[in-house]
Structure 1
Amino acid sequence: MGPPIMERQTPMLPQNTAAENNDVRYMHPAAAFFHCAGKVAAILSYLLCGLFSESYVINFVVTTLLIGIDFWIVKNVTGRLLVGLRWWNDVDERGESTWKFESLNQQALDRINRNDSWIFWWSLYINNAAWVALAIIAIVKLNFDYLIITIIAISLTSANTAGYSKCRKDAERRANAGGQGFASSLFQAARGVRNMV
């Protein structure tokens, strides 16, 4: 069984209108800070680790730990707060993998702050691009030890990017399907009233 459904947890967003939420610079400034700080800390650790320690093992452990912490923060905290989305992957008894998505209801999604959303999505994409660039540099320098770190980072950041992108598309699809269902039910109700007259 997956984690509890997020629709029951809508109190994480204030009950303001979309206009009021977008007048505020950030609805969740601490979440936005840690969303970016985790990424910056991991990249700085990768770039500057040689200044503090000559040991590759220590550099590997520290950088990988920071990458893992960033993955966890994005997946379990900032995705919910900044964009109202959540994803996970279930593996059944047969070993088949299934993506699971949750999002706030459409009214709550409409109240998501634009700045929160912007910082969430752009930092995800820029972080991925930065790790790919660092992997290319490691290949060019024939520095295969540090290439391993970039591959780990690309794997985790790509998982978050893919998970949240699929989750956003699923939320949009459900919102559109809900709108079409509402319109068709109105049409059927109007037709029923006309038949009664």
Structure 2
Amino acid sequence: MDLGPPSGEDYAHPNICFFHVFFKGAALAFYILSALFVDSFVIVFVITVLLAALDFWVVKNVSGRILVGLRWWNEINDAGESLWKFECLDHESLARINKKDSWLFWWTLYLSAVAWFLLGIFSLIRFHADYLLVVGVCLTLSIANIIGFTKCRKDAKKQIQAFASQTIASRLTSTIQSAFSVV
């Protein structure tokens, strides 16, 4: 399994890729560097969570749809049950997704969660429970996107497999029918 980015192609959506990475990096960088410039925990909390929320929104509503052709959301029905809803492009459009865009999307999605997890461990080691709250909110937003897009990707694979088996079955049926109608 090749873990490096696909070679031989450029990013199909460089602006979307930039903002996909920008808000993740901005939230992480502000949180890490804020200790050097800002004394107020409230300012660190508000700005870091705001950047993480912007990242969550961009990933969920823009970059996920454009870079990997997936979109998810969660609804609560009248009975109070949580329902996951998934959208994906058709199988032909999914096959045309740029591999570099997809690679960047998935790797940054997982690496940002790992970074927040490590920062959470550092907050625990340093006994900064208040900063652990910031990390907890940011990690929760990252994990929500990971769960949503992972479930959405599995649902998309099921839809593609169902479409492929349906297509094969209909072609096989039409071939058999045409063979018997000729005789």
**Smaller-chain TM-score range?**
over 0.9
1:69 aligns with 2:82: no
- If the length of structure 2 is used for normalisation, what is the TM-score? 0.93
- Identify which of 90, 102, 105 aligns with 1:117: 102
Could you tell me how far 1:53 is from its partner in structure 2?
A: 1.6
1:85 aligns with 2:32: no
Q: Distance in 2 between matches of 1:132 and 1:107?
A: 37
Q: Structure 2: give runs of 5+ residues left out of the alignment.
A: 1-6
Secondary structure at the aligned position of 1:94 is classed as coil
- Aligned residue pair count: 176
Q: Distance in 1 between matches of 2:94 and 2:145?
A: 19
Q: Distance in 2 between matches of 1:121 and 1:73?
A: 14
Aligned position for 2:138:
153
Amino acid paired to 1:114: K
Aligned position for 1:5:
none
Q: Show CA shifts across 1:55-83 (max 9, x none).
A: 11111111111110110110011011111
Secondary structure at the aligned position of 1:90 is classed as strand
Q: Structure 1: give runs of 5+ residues left out of the alignment.
A: 1-21
- Provide the identity percentage: 44
Could you tell me how far 1:52 is from its partner in structure 2?
A: 2.1
1:94 aligns with 2:79: yes
- Identify which of 174, 189, 192 aligns with 2:159: 174
Coordinate RMSD, CA, aligned: 1.2
Deviates more, 1:50-59 or 1:22-31: 22-31
Aligned position for 1:60:
45
Q: Distance in 2 between matches of 1:90 and 1:59?
A: 31
- If the length of structure 1 is used for normalisation, what is the TM-score? 0.86
Q: Distance in 1 between matches of 2:89 and 2:8?
A: 21
Amino acid paired to 1:131: W
Could you tell me how far 1:51 is from its partner in structure 2?
A: 2.0
Amino acid paired to 1:132: F
Secondary structure at the aligned position of 1:102 is classed as strand
Q: Distance in 2 between matches of 1:72 and 1:98?
A: 19
